[in-house]
Amino acid sequence: MTSLGLSRSLCRTLQCYTVKRCIPVSGYTCKQLRVICNPCAPATRSHSSEIKQRTYWQYLKRKVMKSSLPPYQHVCQVGDPVLRSKASPVDPVEICSPQVQKVIQTLIKVMRKLDCMGLSAPQIGVSLQVIALEFTERMLHENPLNAREIKGLAPFPLKIFVNPSVRVLDSRTATFVEGCESVSGFSACVPRFHSVEISGLNESGEPVSWQTSGWPARIIQHEMDHLNGVLYIDKMDSKTFANVSWMELNE
């Protein structure tokens, strides 16, 4: 862990982003810029010009407009490398540090702002093993009665798990439509185990565990996948993948 309470791997990732996004154009040849920004790109004049322009504006945004760094107030979208990296464990002695507490509080804030049932630290740009879960009574009542029964919906209070692990209690699977804030605007059918137990540390560093089934178990499995660099699109029935607004677009 670094002095900021973040993993070295995360810091290296952030440094990589800084190199790619924030270097001034002056002092670099077009070829050097091409290698730094995109080593796989062809060495064409037009592409080099595009890189110069993009690098300049990225540098300007960071230095003049004070662009933010993780933890973000938004959710990272598919394509961001942080979503495909395995998250690093948090040193238990660092859980109560201001830096880790900031990650936890930002996670809760963003989750509630988006009105979602779960969120992981990688989704706000921090590659640490932290997840937040919450399903309120209001969320429950937004679903029809038959949906509540079929899906096994049940409300639960805010739960934070640091360095979580999951044990399958019932290996039977159920397939339902799932969405993800990091694959915004899409959904697909995904199979999940019926019942699981999650264990880890809470926001105070105390050991906690929770046995649950139905939809809460699905949320746990979904968020645990994020900590392993896995998205629901890796497990979905690809034929069911859909834009959630496709019907409205046809009207």
- CA 192, CA 177: separation in Å to the nearest integer? 11
Among residues 149, 223, 248, 251, the one annotated as catalytic is 223
Contact 55, 37 (CB under 8 A): yes
223 is catalytic: yes
Which residues carry out catalysis? 223
